[in-house]
Structure formats: C-alpha cells, structure tokens
Amino acid sequence: MIHRSLSRRGFLLVGLYVAALAPLAQATTLQRLTFEELTDSSDMIVTGKVTRTWAAWDARHHYIWTHYEVEVAATQKGARSTSVQLSEPGGTAEGMTMTIAGTSKYNVGDEVLVFLQTMPNGMIRTTGWGQGKYTVDARGRLHADMTLKGVDYVDVKTGATGLAPVATLDGLTLQEAGVRVASRLRATQRPGKVQ
C-alpha cells in the first residue's frame, strides 16, 4: 500500500482505489518452511549486528525498498564477507510510504542470525520473509520473528493454512543453532561441493 500527501480530490480518488484493494493488501500468504527447507533454500546464513538502514526506490522507480547493512561476525553458509546488505520491500522514500504485510524489519543495533536468499533482481532478502530472521538477546539466545502481522502460512504438504511459522531455533543459544545449521549443511553437502 502506498501513501502520499495529496490534494483533497486526489486523496478521495486514491482512497476509493485503496478501499477497493484493501482486502487484497491486508494479508500475505507464505509457504511455511521447515528448518531444513529454510537452511537448504538460503544462499547465505550469517550472524552479525545491524549497523545502518535506509530506504530508496528501486532502479525503475516502481517499489520502495528498505536496506539494512549487517556487520558480519560469522558466516555459517555462503561467501564470507565483513558485511552484507539485505533489502526488504516497503519503507518511506521521497514522501511516500509503501507497506507490505509480512516484511521483516530490522533495527540498528540488533544482533541477528539471518537466513538470506538472493532474489532475481539481485537484492538479498530474508529467506521466507520473517521465517529467516532471529534476534539474539544479551544471553546469546535466539528469538524468532513472530511479530509479523497480516501473514497467513500454508503447509504445502497438507494445504493447511493459518499456521504459525516454524521457529525451531527459537530459544536456542547461538552456538546450539550453529551446530544445527552445520549438521544440516554436512547432511546435504555433495562430494566435491563446498558450502
């Protein structure tokens, strides 16, 4: 959904348009990912600290994206680097705000474990929307991103909807989660292939 300061006439027209589309824009339906699917479908899995954030339009000026820079402390999967830029749809740029239900949000200073995928547009996003984001508390314990509003999950095997996302790492220590990820990567690694 996009908002902007408009004249009264323009506001009325946009309001009618948004009201007509409101049922469509209020919910996002996502595939409910198991831990194995989350790990396997991620190009990168990193832990680190969110150091900055900014929003901008994409190159075609069609969508607003909020970008986050994460200073990487450890890489469990993917190419090693000192930082990674991840991007999520939505945000505020040039006086316009675009919101999309289910988009992961990060705050500067957050310590995170994130599962990441490279999108066809080249941007790196949280795998499975909020399913791939865990914050790390001061004791080193993980907390799943369970604050997603307007999101329905579907289990593709059973067709059941409305399920909460899988949060199998929730409450584990960062070390325990690392052991689980490493075990999964070893189990799926083909001979001669480097993760």
pLDDT > 70 fraction of the chain, expressed in percent and rounded: 76
∠ Cα 24 26 28 (to 5°): 85
Residue 25 has pLDDT above 50, yes or no: no
Alpha-carbon distance values, 102 to 29, 89, 126, 146, 186 (Å): 9, 10, 11, 10, 31
Residue 97 has a pLDDT of: 95
Higher pLDDT, 180 or 161: 180
The correct CATH number of 28-188 out of 2.170.140, 1.20.120, 1.10.3470, 2.40.50 is 2.40.50
Residue-wise pLDDT tens digits, 69-79: 999 999 999 99
**pLDDT (tens digit, 9 = 90+) per residue, 173-188?**
999 999 999 999 999 8
- The DSSP string of 38-98 is HHHH-SEEEEEEEEEEEEEE-TTSS-EEEEEEEEEEEEEES---SEEEEEEE-EEETTEEE
Under DSSP, is residue 113 helix (H, G, I), strand (E, B) or coil?
Answer: strand
Furthest C-alpha separation in the chain: 65
Is the model's pLDDT at 6 over the cut of 90? no
Q: How confident is the model at residue 121 (pLDDT cuts 50, 70, 90)?
A: confident
User: What span, in angstroms and rounded, lies between the C-alpha atoms of 70 and 183?
Assistant: 25
Phi, psi of 6 (to 5 degrees): -135, 165
Q: Would residue 140 be called left, alpha or beta, if left means φ above 0 and alpha means ψ between -120 and 50 degrees?
A: left
CA dihedral over 2, 5, 9, 11, signed as positive or negative: positive
Q: Quote the pTM value.
A: 0.78
CA dihedral 36, 165, 136, 57 (to 10 degrees): 100
Q: Region 47-55: what's the mean pLDDT?
A: 98
Where are the domains positioned within the chain?
28-188
* pLDDT tens sequence across 67-117: 999 999 999 999 999 999 999 999 999 999 998 877 889 999 999 999 999
